[in-house]
Amino acid sequence: MSSDGEMAVFGPAAQFLRKSEKERAEAQNRPFDSKTACFVSDATELYVKAEVQDRSEGGVTVKTTLTVREDQVFPMNPPKFDKIEDMVMMTHLHEPAVLFNLKERYAAWMIYTYSGLFCVTVNPYKWLPVYNPEVVRAYRGKKRMEVPPHIFALSDNAYQFMLTGDGPRWGVHIMFDPIFTFDEDVSAAIKASS
């Protein structure tokens, strides 16, 4: 993990690429009980953080005063995994943990997140300074795990492997997989332009 000093090469984009050393240290020291911390299904938010108060006869009472079925309770990752750059490193890898991580990173405008070999991007619907020439230079020649998640890391690695012939024999696929649904007019416009 890069120090704040090493992140200086990214200029103003650094805050959009990796959380600060202070934030990482605070997450490491935040109290956490893995036996009671969990996510529970919620009709409004999809999943919410909760704390198990009691387990009995297939039901679970959580601190949010909800009683839910056992299959609606998902273990939570320790705080050190909040806003983690590569989600395969999580202790508990399930839908609520993935969605929570993406939501937290998006709230901090960190729009790129790895999930193993994949780079997940959440569209910020605004311009962020993560595509400036200094950012391109900062990613050039670096291994994927030496720098924060970014499409530049993947593309530069693919380019270096292509030049040397030393890398894996695979291509880069860019996929657009919307999580939300468009209205019919927008959907028709997209189909017509492709």
pLDDT of 156 over the 80 cut: yes
End-to-end CA distance of the chain: 40
What does the DSSP assignment read for 34-71?
TTTEEEEEETTTEEEEEEEEEEETTEEEETTS-EEEGG
Q: Cα-flanking dihedrals φ and ψ of residue 62, to 5°?
A: -115, 165
Helix (H) or strand (E) holding 153: helix 151-164
Q: What pTM was estimated for this model as a whole? A: 0.71
**Dist CA 48 CA 22 (whole Å):** 26
User: Domain spans of the chain?
Assistant: 6-20+81-193
Residue 182: its pLDDT value, please? 44
**Can you name the CATH fold of 6-20+81-193?**
Kinesin (3.40.850)
- Rounded to an integer, the average pLDDT of 113-119 is 91
Please check the confidence at residue 158 and state whether its pLDDT lies above 90. Answer: no
**Is 63 in contact with 51 (CB distance < 8 Å)?**
yes
pLDDT of 143 over the 70 cut: yes
